[in-house]
Chain A
Amino acid sequence: MVLPAVLVISVIAFFPLFKTFYDSFFEFGLRPDIEKKFVGLKNYIDLFHDERFLAALKTTVIFTVVSVALETVFGLLIAVIVNQPFKFRGVVRAAMLIPWAIPTAISSQMWKWMFNDQGGIMTKFLEKLNIIEPGFPILGSPNTALWAIIAVDVWKTTPFMALLILAGLQLIPEELYEAARIDGANLLQRFTKITLPMLSSTIAVALIFRTLDALRVFDVVFIMTRGSVGTETLAVYNRVLLMDRAFTGAWFGYGSALSVIIFLLISIFAIIYIKSLKLKLD
């Protein structure tokens, strides 16, 4: 049974990965008059001199760190609340998943309209609170666009975090809390000494899932701003290189190098999490 599994994995996962690695050492495009040329590490060196790449890298890291941190905190909070017994708990648990259940392509467009300057409900709301002046383009300003996108991502993905953490919470035996109560531990102590340690592997898995997702974020950014006003992430830039420029120049190797960097970045984060949280993978 091992052999077929290895075979399937190598065909669907390793082959494209190695092909991308391999391609990243060449200069080529889809234009018929461009010959594929071996250039060694040139693509990587060029990338780190490419201001647009560096800006996208910075944006991606900011997006990832801020959105994942907020999603984890809010997710934990919500999970603890809906883990308590109360009326209509089932309904609340189901309803809470709605933002996550809506396809990102649709919810991003919906939020884009809500941030619209002409009658967008979020714009009107922020105007009423005197946070922005009337007609201010939230998605058209370098000071606000990235934060608006992060807000949408937090709105969308917090339920997913909450759900994962809730599953972890339910695995903690009730006896532990009872014993702690008898020993006189208060709410905060019970949370920090029992809940958090027992949850660490769940949170680690959730963090890995979310971080890996956030590092390759594409849809919400592409739909809301197409990467303008300083919101271009690595995946959005990669799309420009591999799709918009497929027939115009020799960008495929460069785009492959960028793909490899996204892959490495994700691996680094994954390894840090696994090591620091002493996660057992087997």
Chain B
Amino acid sequence: MRKFLLAVLLLTLAVVAFSGSRVTITMTAGAVGKELEVLYAQLDVFMKQNPNIKVSVMPMPNSSTERHDLYVTYLASGEKEPTVLMLDVIWPAEFAPYLEDLTADKDYFELNKFLPGTVKAATVNGRIVAIPWFTDAGLLYYRKDLLEKYGFKNPPKTWDELVQMAKTITAKEKNMVGFVWQGARYEGLVCDFMEYLVSFGGDVLDEQGNVIINSPAAVKALQFMVDLIYTHKVSPQAVTTYMEEEARRAFQNGQAVFMRNWPYAWSLLNDPKESKVAGKVGVAPLPAGPGGKSAATLGGWMLGINKNATPEEKEAAKKLIKFLTSYEQQLYKAVNAGQNPTMMDVYKDPALKKAAPFMVELYGMFINAVPRPRTAKYSEISDVIQKYVHAALTKQTTPQKAIEDMAKELNKVLGK
């Protein structure tokens, strides 16, 4: 028995010695649509190119809120795994103390070739803590066939136009609502609210981080959201329970004229197996507010490195991130998983134009997407915004009062 154990021990030692420089790193990943499949294909290529690095994938829940909770647990415990973290665009400030500082590597990652907005989102107090992987912005999806049928040549340019078109069409079409969006109390509501807010000329915080939400523009924006449901009646009351997928389901079953959603919906809406409106869908920038300004909320994900990893693991992680955010891999991801590149040049690639024409056409919108408030206290701020916007949408308070209370509470959260 003892001899056997000794043999096992020696064998183990031999294996360890021979594999010597082989590093194993873990990365977290999402599984929305074809995301995970595409990542596995990319990792196969990466591991062939780098035989001494093994990457194992930790699939995560789809909901960003639940991923946040898992990260809190991992990072707070001081574990070195996962090595590479997939981070929502709103998290870097909050998680910065636990992420490897990549400022010195910005040339290695060629960050000057990336969309400036995404790089800004990955920068906390002048330090770069993550590398943008793919980007997102709110879009207006519309039924091309219905707009044509009722003589509208172009998608709506302003919110008022959207209301008029929706009213005209739903008055004559059966079982049809005008406009679906994300009105449930969760992170997505903040994204939608930001779009109305900024297009009406307001904002949550100014450059110095002061709360500037309490403005007539903000009240008008929120009032407009409420009016969509109760006055214009172009949005069903149930939008107050909708997240992305509920809106997409209503739209792709042919029950809505307009939808606000992210780029991921495009390929699903045009899949004839799943969607009743395949081929009848158009996509445009979100309508503009009274001042003529249109705004789309910046979404997207980036890759950061766990500070507790060993130096070898960090080196391997940097190689992996460099690979995943390279031109070829961003193009591959955009074409196969429908996720927008963060590297500007990729938008000029003919292959992308063929696979997802709107990504190229709406490039200007992706580059100008509006960030949500950038602060380490983002989760708290988001929670406050969700609470008051949802209370107004469900008529528990008036828009005026909701904005006033929101301002008060935001000031308290930020200690002003």
A-B interaction:
yes
* Residues on A facing B (Cβ under 8 Å): 30-33, 52, 116-118, 135-137, 139-142, 225-230, 240, 243-249
Asked if B372 is an interface residue, CB under 8 A from chain A, the answer is: no
How distant is the Cα of A189 from the Cα of B3 in the complex, in angstroms? 79
Known: A32-B97, A229-B390. A248 touches B241 (CB 8 A): no
Known: A30-B72, A31-B97, A142-B394. A137 touches B238 (CB 8 A): yes
Known: A141-B394, A226-B186, A229-B396. A116 touches B380 (CB 8 A): no
Question: How far is the CB of B240 from the nearest CB of chain A, in Å?
Answer: 4
How distant is the Cα of A24 from the Cα of B253 in the complex, in angstroms? 51
Asked if B413 is an interface residue, CB under 8 A from chain A, the answer is: yes
B253 in contact with A248 (CB, 8 Å) = no
- Besides the known contacts A31-B97, A118-B255, A245-B379, 17 further A-B residue pairs in the complex with CB atoms under 8 A apart: A31-B376, A116-B246, A135-B237, A137-B236, A137-B238, A140-B237, A140-B394, A142-B395, A226-B185, A228-B185, A230-B396, A245-B383, A247-B72, A247-B76, A247-B379, A248-B94, A249-B380
Q: Which residues of A contact B94 (CB under 8 A)?
A: 247-248
Q: Which residues of B contact A140 (CB under 8 A)?
A: 183-184, 237-238, 240-241, 394
Chain B, range 59-93, C-beta contacts under 8 Å to A: 65, 68-69, 72, 75-76
Known: A118-B250, A140-B241. A246 touches B76 (CB 8 A): yes
Asked if B109 is an interface residue, CB under 8 A from chain A, the answer is: no
Q: Which residues of A contact B390 (CB under 8 A)?
A: 228-229
Known: A240-B383, A244-B65. A249 touches B377 (CB 8 A): yes
Q: Which residues of A contact B280 (CB under 8 A)?
A: none
B95 in contact with A118 (CB, 8 Å) = no
Q: Which residues of A contact B95 (CB under 8 A)?
A: 247
Question: How far is the CB of B272 from the nearest CB of chain A, in Å?
Answer: 21
Asked if B249 is an interface residue, CB under 8 A from chain A, the answer is: yes
Q: Is the interface of A mostly helix, strand, loop or mixed?
A: loop
Q: Which residues of B contact A136 (CB under 8 A)?
A: 237-238
Asked if B378 is an interface residue, CB under 8 A from chain A, the answer is: yes
Q: Which residues of A contact B253 (CB under 8 A)?
A: 118
Question: How far is the CB of A78 from the nearest CB of chain B, in Å?
Answer: 32
* Residues on B facing A (Cβ under 8 Å): 65, 68-69, 72, 75-76, 94-95, 97, 177, 183-186, 236-238, 240-241, 246, 249-250, 253, 255, 376-380, 383, 387, 390, 394-396, 413
A137 in contact with B241 (CB, 8 Å) = yes
Q: Which residues of B contact A230 (CB under 8 A)?
A: 396
How distant is the Cα of A52 from the Cα of B184 in the complex, in angstroms? 19
Question: How far is the CB of A37 from the nearest CB of chain B, in Å?
Answer: 14
How distant is the Cα of A55 from the Cα of B68 in the complex, in angstroms? 26
Question: How far is the CB of B280 from the nearest CB of chain A, in Å?
Answer: 19
Question: How far is the CB of A188 from the nearest CB of chain B, in Å?
Answer: 45
Question: How far is the CB of B72 from the nearest CB of chain A, in Å?
Answer: 5
How distant is the Cα of A247 from the Cα of B255 in the complex, in angstroms? 41
Within the complex, which residue of A32, A229, A246 is in contact with B72, where a contact is CB–CB below 8 Å?
A246
Q: Which residues of A contact B378 (CB under 8 A)?
A: 248
Question: How far is the CB of A53 from the nearest CB of chain B, in Å?
Answer: 13
A244 in contact with B379 (CB, 8 Å) = yes
Q: Which residues of A contact B249 (CB under 8 A)?
A: 118
Q: Which residues of B contact A226 (CB under 8 A)?
A: 184-186
Question: How far is the CB of A41 from the nearest CB of chain B, in Å?
Answer: 20
In the complex, the 3 A-B pairs of residues with the closest C-beta atoms, listed nearest first: A117-B238, A228-B185, A137-B238
A248 in contact with B396 (CB, 8 Å) = no
Q: Which residues of A contact B376 (CB under 8 A)?
A: 31, 247-248
Within the complex, which residue of B75, B255, B394, B413 is in contact with A249, where a contact is CB–CB below 8 Å?
B413
Chain B residue nearest in CB terms to A247: B94
A118 in contact with B380 (CB, 8 Å) = no
Chain A residue nearest in CB terms to B255: A118
Q: Which residues of B contact A225 (CB under 8 A)?
A: 185
Q: Which residues of B contact A31 (CB under 8 A)?
A: 97, 376
Chain A residue nearest in CB terms to B189: A228
How distant is the Cα of A136 from the Cα of B241 in the complex, in angstroms? 11
How distant is the Cα of A240 from the Cα of B413 in the complex, in angstroms? 14
Chain A residue nearest in CB terms to B395: A142
Question: How far is the CB of A242 from the nearest CB of chain B, in Å?
Answer: 9
B246 in contact with A248 (CB, 8 Å) = no
